[in-house]
Chains A and B, each alone.
Chain A
């Protein structure tokens, strides 16, 4: 059964802390892994990862994929209150272009 599992389910940190969010997957015919930030309405796209070991970076956010161990991490350094959101991980499969979403990690950053 194809699935995506995110951990932790929720996380509360103080401003300035660094956090690491995890996403592990078991998906047949893996095509890509995507990270989204969801605050209110639609998830906002953050990263798409297709190759192992190549870090993608955008400001204080970075992500890397390990296709051998079947997981990805999303790092956020020097967290700010505006980083508070649910972070979703999704894996796209080649078969039927299907997406498998995790249930998200709820991050709360306290001032």
Chain B
């Protein structure tokens, strides 16, 4: 079945540094990739939707200059948290959509801890 990977699985960084998270569709081409952030009580917030070769569409309240998304190919999207602060500490999950049945395949997530 379709597999989506994320790298790294967990990262600890100092406040003020930037962190890049990769999301890859391993055995299929993803027309669209989504980035989510997990909040307390397990809720997931959609941050942005990205299509290969075009600018990401950010949800209201998500700072595009802080959360840079690049979708360079049909199998790779990256989320860069710039000038990370402790309040950015969270679990970030990506998903990729194939266009067939519009099924979304979720990655395993990346745990970010900003000290």
User: Could you list which residues of chain A lie within 8 angstroms of chain B, going by C-beta atoms?
Assistant: 3, 9, 34, 36, 38, 41-45, 48, 86, 88, 90, 96-101, 103-104, 106
Cα distance, A99 to B9, chains bound together (Å): 10
Q: Which residues of A contact B44 (CB under 8 A)?
A: 36, 42-43, 45
Cα distance, A104 to B98, chains bound together (Å): 14
**Residue from the list A3, A41, A106 in contact with B46, Cβ < 8 A:** A41
Evaluate whether A103 and B105 lie within 8 angstroms (CB atoms) in the complex, with A42-B36, A97-B10 already known: yes
**CB-based contact A99/B42 at 8 Å:** no
Q: Which residues of A contact B101 (CB under 8 A)?
A: 9, 106
**CB-based contact B9/A98 at 8 Å:** yes
Q: How far is the CB of A50 from chain B (nearest CB, A)?
A: 12
**CB-based contact B9/A96 at 8 Å:** yes
Q: Which residues of B contact A3 (CB under 8 A)?
A: 1
Q: Which residues of B contact A100 (CB under 8 A)?
A: 108
Q: Which residues of A contact B95 (CB under 8 A)?
A: 101
Q: What are 12 A-B pairs with beta-carbon distances under 8 A? A: A34-B42, A36-B44, A42-B43, A43-B36, A48-B42, A96-B10, A97-B10, A97-B91, A97-B109, A97-B111, A98-B108, A99-B108
- Number of B interface residues in the complex (CB < 8 A): 23
Q: Using a Cβ cutoff of 8 Å, how many contacts connect chains A and B?
A: 51
- Binary per-residue interface labels of chain B (5-36) against chain A in the complex, 1 for a CB within 8 Å, 0 otherwise: 00001100000000000000000000000001
5 A-B pairs with the lowest CB-CB distances in the bound complex, closest first: A101-B106, A42-B46, A98-B108, A45-B42, A41-B46
**CB-based contact B109/A99 at 8 Å:** yes
Q: Which residues of A contact B89 (CB under 8 A)?
A: none
**CB-based contact A45/B41 at 8 Å:** yes
Q: Which residues of B contact A106 (CB under 8 A)?
A: 101
List 7 additional contacts besides A103-B103, A104-B103, A106-B101; criterion CB under 8 Å.
A41-B59, A42-B36, A42-B43, A44-B43, A96-B111, A97-B10, A101-B105
Q: Which residues of A contact B45 (CB under 8 A)?
A: 42
- Does B93 have its Cβ within 8 Å of any Cβ on chain A? yes
Q: How far is the CB of A84 from chain B (nearest CB, A)?
A: 14
Q: Which residues of B contact A90 (CB under 8 A)?
A: 106
